[in-house]
Amino acid sequence: MKAINIHFFSPTENQQPKAKAEKAAKPAKLLLTGHISTTGKLVLPAKTVAHLGVDLNKTSFKVGMDEGKRKAKSLYLVPSSSNAETFVFEQAAKSYTLALPFILTESGVDFVKTKYDFTIRLFEYEGTTAFALQLAPEAAEAKVPYTGKPRGRKPKQDQGAE
């Protein structure tokens, strides 16, 4: 007689399958942003400040940019414990501001004519968490040409020699 291969069931196979443990949802990668006001202040909204993990009321920062560059494409904010040559954020109604009008002007950022936005990237600098602000001019919306009824006087028709 031929040998039969038999699969035997266990009591655990006769139970309803357990629901799989739900994986903890990863926090959405939050884009930290801010803008430069027309008076030359870096403005960080309250939502952004909440996710930075730094108390801006108690922390002073050194402000810098890439060495050897004429025009700033990035600004760097490094927390500093000494009060010499540091800047302090001021609390506004729903944001924090850092006034840098002369530094921005010298760095080639024309904040009066163009609105600048920036994204904040965290990086490690000499054992502390610092911020890199990537500046980007806001694209002006293209003006849609007026397609309605022409207004005003009608243009004079050129009277040809009759």
Give residue 99's domain range: 33-137
Structure tokens of 90? 């001021």
What pLDDT band is residue 26 in, cutting at 50, 70 and 90?
A: very low
Calculate mean pLDDT across residues 15-44: 71
**Does residue 103 belong to any structural domain of this protein?**
yes
Q: Quick: pLDDT tens for 39-85.
A: 888 888 888 888 877 777 788 888 888 787 778 788 888 888 777 77
Residue 26 lies in a domain: no
> Looking up tokens 């039969």, which residue turns up?
4
Cβ atoms within 10 Å, residue 116? 19
pTM above 0.85, yes or no: no
Q: Is residue 62 part of a domain?
A: yes
* Three-class DSSP category at 74: strand
How far, CA to CA in Å, does 24 sit from each of 21, 27, 30, 31?
9, 9, 17, 21
> Which single residue is written with the structure tokens 């760095």?
107
Q: Is the separation of the CB atoms in 56 and 44 below 8 Å? A: yes
Residue 2 belongs to some domain of the structure:
no
Has residue 18 been placed in a domain?
no
CA distance 26 to 22: 12
pLDDT in tens, 72-121: 788 888 888 777 778 888 888 888 888 888 888 888 888 888 888 888 88
Asked if the model's pLDDT at residue 35 lies above 50, the reply is yes
Do 118 and 135 meet the contact criterion of CB atoms below 8 Å apart?
yes
- The token duo for 35 is 């803008």
CB 73 within 8 A of CB 66: yes
153 within domain boundaries: no
Q: Quick check: is 15 in a domain?
A: no
Please indicate, yes or no, if residue 81 is contained in any of the structural domains: yes
Q: How many domains does the chain have?
A: 1
Alpha helices in 42-107 (DSSP H): 46-52, 101-106
| Alpha carbons 150 and 27: distance in angstroms, whole number | 54
